[in-house]
Amino acid sequence: MIDDGHRLLREDHVAAFHGDLVRARREVVDLELTVGAAEHAERTARDVYQHAGEVQGRARRELAADAPDRCGVALRALGADQALRP
């Protein structure tokens, strides 16, 4: 009878340990999914930031290239370009 009681007690401990192990594995999987989502968000943010920098640089280059033409058009519209010519 004592041996049966000890065996049942050990089985209970093993079952409890197994339950703890299963919960721990689930937590690890949840953490891995969370880390994966965070890494994906970081990569996406980095890609968006890089693209924004490229767009900004392209816009600056285009504005710089168009600036003399735009200034000339504005000055001609005002009639001021005649005053600036030697």
Domains in the chain: boundaries = 2-84
Q: How confident is the model at residue 82 (pLDDT cuts 50, 70, 90)?
A: low
pTM: 0.53
Question: What is the pLDDT averaged over residues 14-39?
Answer: 93
15, two tokens: 């079952």
For residues 84 and 75, is the Cβ–Cβ distance under 8 A? yes
Residues counted in the chain: 86
pLDDT digits (tens, 9 = 90+) for 17-29: 888 999 999 999 9
Question: What is the pLDDT averaged over residues 39-54?
Answer: 95
Cα angle 42-48-52, degrees, rounded to a multiple of 5: 145
pLDDT digits (tens, 9 = 90+) for 53-81: 999 999 888 888 877 777 777 777 777 65
